């Protein structure tokens, strides 16, 4: 279980880790304790973020390829968080505690606050769409330095099949429906490649003038629509009404740099449905804490996701109403 594994970490570990980046251990502030432990700290270079995971949760080679992707994006002028090498010249430092090995890495602070859908200036959503498109354009020529193979979209279906047998028939049927649909999607240079993998609002920052993308933990090969649709997921699931008029500006910004076919747009709702099922099964089978990573009570989060899986037509209707 993810939460139990990270809770085995002694509180001295972050202090040991931050010193390897010449950081002030007294300035450490826990920012997030979800699937990673994230700390803000400062050193002579300003504020930076320390991220810690366990080797059983994230093998070092997978973390390394994610950092490769971040560096590639930075060199491609994408506004994204930038990794920082340690005093030892490493992007990743191993911190040992008895039989446990924790992996630490650091990124520069990106100014701004988490993106939301309550800005009155629609230009920000246009800029956001452009930044996502820049990321995808850069990903088209990304080759991992350490040659570690990234996961693919179908790996998610393999993982879900391993745990779905105990679910009601209607949920099992949704998995098969989605698998059939994704197998039929066109795959080409303009709509498929390396994606961020967790491009939600909490991983996007804005200072009111520009938009930046952070937390590249889960890059994988997928349709670019996975990243495009992801920020709207929680609003759609929760039935919020503040995102609909922002979507055209966001899509317009994306299309000003990268093409989106009618078929790509038509598939938007499938990515929201897939994310509902992925998060539902992952939370149910990997998370034991009373509070889910997003902040809701775990039982309430699961109760919110389940109807979206059992009645997927509502998601399709809601999304298509705004896109077409």
How is 118-145 classified by DSSP, letter by letter?
--S-THHHHHHHHHHHHHHHHHTT---T
pLDDT surpassing 80 at residue 21: yes
CB under 8 Å to 161, separation ≥6 — which residues? 175
Query: Which fold is adopted by the domain 113-323?
Result: Aminoglycoside 3'-phosphotransferase; Chain: A, domain 2 (3.90.1200)
pLDDT surpassing 70 at residue 3: no
- Residue environment code for 48-87, b if the CB has 16+ CB neighbours within 10 A, otherwise e: bbbbbbbeebbeeebbbbbbbbbbbbbeeebbbbbbbebe
- Is the fold of 2-108 the same as that of 113-323? no
pLDDT surpassing 90 at residue 146: no
Q: pLDDT at position 310, please?
A: 95
**What percent of the chain has pLDDT above 90?**
77
User: What is the rounded CA–CA span in Å between residue 152 and residue 86?
Assistant: 31
Query: Would the pTM count as exceeding 0.85?
Result: yes
Residue extents of the structural domains in the chain: 2-108, 113-323
CATH 3.30.360.10 fits 2-108, yes or no: no
pLDDT surpassing 80 at residue 259: yes
């Amino acid at each position: 279980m993810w939460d139990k594994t990270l809770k085995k970490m002694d509180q001295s570990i972050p202090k040991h880790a931050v010193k390897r980046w010449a950081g002030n251990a007294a300035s450490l502030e826990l920012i997030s304790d979800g699937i990673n432990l994230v700390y803000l700290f400062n050193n002579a270079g300003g504020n930076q973020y320390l991220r810690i995971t366990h080797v059983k949760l994230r093998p070092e080679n997978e973390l390394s390829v994610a950092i490769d992707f971040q560096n590639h994006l930075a060199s491609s002028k994408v506004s994204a968080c930038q990794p920082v090498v340690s005093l030892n010249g490493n992007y990743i430092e191993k911190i040992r505690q008895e039989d446990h090995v924790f992996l630490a890495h650091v990124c520069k602070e990106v100014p701004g606050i988490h993106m939301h859908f309550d800005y009155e200036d629609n230009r920000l959503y246009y800029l956001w769409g452009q930044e996502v498109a820049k990321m995808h354009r850069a990903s088209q020529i990304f080759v991992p330095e350490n040659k570690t193979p990234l996961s693919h979209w179908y790996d998610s279906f393999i993982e879900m099949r391993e745990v779905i047998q105990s679910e009601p028939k209607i949920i099992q049927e949704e998995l098969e429906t989605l698998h059939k649909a994704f197998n039929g999607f066109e795959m080409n240079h303009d709509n498929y490649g390396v994606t961020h993998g967790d491009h939600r609002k909490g991983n996007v920052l804005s200072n009111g003038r520009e938009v930046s993308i952070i937390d590249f933990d889960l890059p994988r090969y997928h349709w670019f629509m996975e990243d495009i649709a992801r920020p709207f997921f929680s609003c759609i699931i929760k039935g919020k009404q503040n995102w609909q008029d922002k979507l055209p500006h966001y899509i317009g910004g994306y299309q000003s740099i990268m093409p989106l076919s009618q078929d790509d747009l038509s598939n938007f709702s499938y990515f929201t449905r897939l994310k509902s099922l992925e998060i539902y099964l992952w939370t149910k089978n990997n998370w034991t804490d009373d509070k889910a990573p997003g902040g809701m009570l775990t039982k309430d989060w699961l109760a919110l996701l389940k109807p979206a899986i059992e009645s997927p037509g509502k998601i399709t209707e809601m999304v298509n109403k705004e896109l077409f």
